[in-house]
Chain A
């Protein structure tokens, strides 16, 4: 089954404790992206990757890191989480190019930073 898998789905952590949210897709997609969803703000792009070893900042990259060492994986790293990073996070992937906007989304990871 074609899917984007995120882990963990739910996480409560404390300020400053490094964490990683993993994302994996099994569709051989070139494009992957991370979004955060906050009430009234819709989805805002954090980082995206157009291919292996190619990443770029989205609209809200501060406080986040990503890497794309393999095509299927695109982990999101919070080196020193803060309460303002409490949010619902989505990983998404697509074929890329003209089909970039045809995104397949994971089920989301709800993060709470105390």
Chain B
């Protein structure tokens, strides 16, 4: 069965520090992978996606993620975080017979920023 694991429930980093949020997936074929961000009281917004090709993908708000097939990982990174990055982050994998009809989300990582 397809699944997504985000091993870190809550991470706190200092403003200006670098960030890496971990995501591991389980899927039999080449996955479609996504990162979403949820600000307090809001819906989710797509940060970036990976379908194929270059394994390092760039997203909005200065985020990037790297697909590593050998590690079944799709970690999210940002070189220098800002206080406005405090939010909850969800990794997701596209699954299902059309490779996209079923989107499975991880349980999320809450990011806090230390001033």
| Chain A residues proximal to chain B, CB less than 8 Å | 4, 31, 33, 35, 40-45, 48, 50, 56, 58-59, 90, 92, 96-103, 105-108
Binds A, one of B13-21, B61-69, B72-80, B105-113: B105-113
User: How far apart sit A5 and B51, CA to CA, in the bound complex (Å)?
Assistant: 28
* CB-contact partner of A45 in B43, B99, B102, B106, under 8 A: B102
A105 and B45 contact, CB distance less than 8 A: yes
* CB-contact partner of B90 in A42, A56, A92, A98, under 8 A: A42
Given A42-B90, A90-B44, A108-B43, the answer on whether A101 and B100 have CB atoms closer than 8 Å is yes
| Central interface residue in B6, B90, B103, by most chain A CB within 10 Å | B103
Interface string of B44-55 (1 = CB under 8 A from A): 111001010000
Given A40-B107, A41-B107, A43-B90, the answer on whether A100 and B101 have CB atoms closer than 8 Å is yes
* CB-contact partner of B103 in A33, A56, A106, under 8 A: A33
B25 at the interface (CB under 8 A from A): no
| Central interface residue in A42, A56, A107, by most chain B CB within 10 Å | A42
